[in-house]
């Protein structure tokens, strides 16, 4: 810090303590030019060394106070954002209504009044409106999908298990599970996607949604070594079933088709979905 021209260093940049301005280039000429243009004929120029030192110390304390104020505000805001993500995640995980976030916040504030009333302002900054909860859940979904895409991109081989069943809203859902292994023999098994079948559930409908699901997750057809279905006609029908359509569209594939009873598990999953 140069006491004569009232500068200090903040994040590797010279900052004028009087004007609170940063000089772009950290060179003596630029700093001197700033002082000459901004502080010429000012009271600071006529100060003694002792007075300059006292003023610099005072200005430094004010700068530190402002920095701490904004740093504390940023820390609280980051914590509030993190808290809203946690609440939104649990709302989605437990199939609660999106508007329940407002009820959760109301309870949270009332508990805060009892346990830590001095921290209530911090809790007030946690946004749990229906719109915000929706936004948080969408962001979480996007992040999880991105993570899954990244893992799928590292698969050397993978298998697909799929079935369709009706949810509580009488909408048929096609559920796809993926299991893959990378070059380090790390195995990943996840629910990859769920596609709604609004109209019919013919083999062509299932095949279309199957393709859309793989396209979204960027699953290479050449990496698929196995597809498991439940053996229903729309899956295994020799004329218009999913398996026939798959083989017609991807001739010469080395996919092994297996039959497995997944109906009970899929139905239990779909019943819990809105």
Question: What domains sit in the chain, N to C, each tagged with a CATH number?
Answer: 3-69 (no CATH), 155-272 (3.30.420)
* Listed residue (91, 75, 189, 100) closest to 141, CA to CA: 91
Residue 266 scores a pLDDT above 60: no
| Mean pLDDT along residues 138-155 | 92
Task: Give the pLDDT score at 191.
Answer: 87
pLDDT band at 165; cut points 50, 70, 90: confident
Retrieve residue 235's tokens. Answer: 């899956």
- Which has the higher per-residue pLDDT, 262 or 40? 40
In the structure, what pLDDT confidence band is assigned to residue 251 with cuts at 50, 70 and 90?
Answer: confident
Nearest to 190, CA basis, from 203, 180, 200: 180
Provide the pLDDT confidence category of residue 200 given band limits of 50, 70 and 90: confident
User: Does position 3 have pLDDT exceeding 50, yes or no?
Assistant: no
Pair 87, 132: CB distance under 8 Å? no
Compute φ and ψ for 218, nearest 5 degrees: 60, 50
Phi, psi of 223 (to 5 degrees): -90, -15
User: For residue range 204-214, what is the model confidence (pLDDT) as tens digits?
Assistant: 999 999 999 88
pLDDT of residue 183: 92
DSSP class of residue 208 equals H
Contacts of 230 (CB under 8 A, 6+ apart): 163, 259, 260, 261, 262, 263
**pLDDT score at 50:** 57
Looking at the predicted structure, is the pLDDT value of residue 118 above 80?
A: yes
pLDDT band at residue 27, thresholds of 50, 70 and 90? low
Q: CA 136, 140, 144: angle at the middle one, nearest 5?
A: 170
pLDDT at 59 over 80: no
- Computed over every residue of the chain, the mean pLDDT equals 79
- Contact at 8 Å (CB) between 151 and 181? no
State the Cα–Cα distance between residues 31 and 39, nearest whole angstrom: 11
Please give the pLDDT value at position 1: 40
pLDDT classification of 88: cutoffs 50, 70, 90: very high
Structure tokens, 5: 């021209």
**Half-sphere exposure of 141 toward its Cβ, with a 13 Å CA cutoff?**
12
Q: Rounded to 5 degrees, what are φ and ψ at 3?
A: -65, -25
Per-residue pLDDT tens over the stretch 8-22: 666 656 776 654 666
Q: In a 3-state reduction of DSSP, which class is residue 76?
A: helix
Percent of the chain, pLDDT > 90?
Answer: 34
């Amino acid at each position: 810090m140069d006491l004569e021209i009232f500068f200090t260093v903040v994040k590797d940049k010279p900052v004028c303590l009087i004007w609170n301005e940063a000089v772009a280039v950290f060179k003596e000429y630029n700093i001197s030019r700033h002082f000459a243009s901004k502080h010429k004929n000012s009271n600071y120029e006529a100060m003694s060394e002792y007075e300059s030192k006292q003023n610099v110390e005072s200005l430094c304390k004010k700068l530190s106070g402002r920095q701490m104020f904004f740093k504390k505000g940023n820390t609280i805001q980051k914590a509030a954002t993190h808290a809203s993500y946690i609440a939104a995640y649990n709302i989605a995980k437990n199939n609660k209504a999106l508007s329940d976030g407002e009820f959760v916040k109301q309870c949270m504030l009332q508990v805060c009044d009892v346990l830590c009333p001095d921290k209530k302002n911090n809790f007030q900054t946690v946004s749990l409106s229906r719109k915000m909860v929706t936004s948080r859940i969408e962001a979480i979904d996007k992040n999880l999908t991105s993570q899954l895409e990244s893992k799928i991109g590292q698969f050397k081989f993978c298998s697909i298990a799929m079935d369709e069943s009706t949810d509580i809203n009488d909408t048929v859902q096609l559920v796809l599970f993926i299991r893959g292994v990378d070059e380090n023999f790390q195995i990943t098994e996840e629910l990859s996607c769920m596609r709604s079948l609004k109209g019919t559930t013919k083999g062509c409908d299932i095949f279309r949604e199957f393709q859309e699901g793989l396209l979204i997750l960027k699953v290479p057809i050449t990496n698929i070594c196995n597809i498991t279905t439940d053996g229903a006609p729309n899956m295994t029908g020799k004329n218009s079933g999913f398996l026939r359509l798959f083989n017609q569209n991807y001739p010469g594939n080395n996919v092994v088709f297996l039959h497995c009873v997944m109906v009970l598990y899929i139905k239990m999953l779909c019943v819990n979905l809105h």
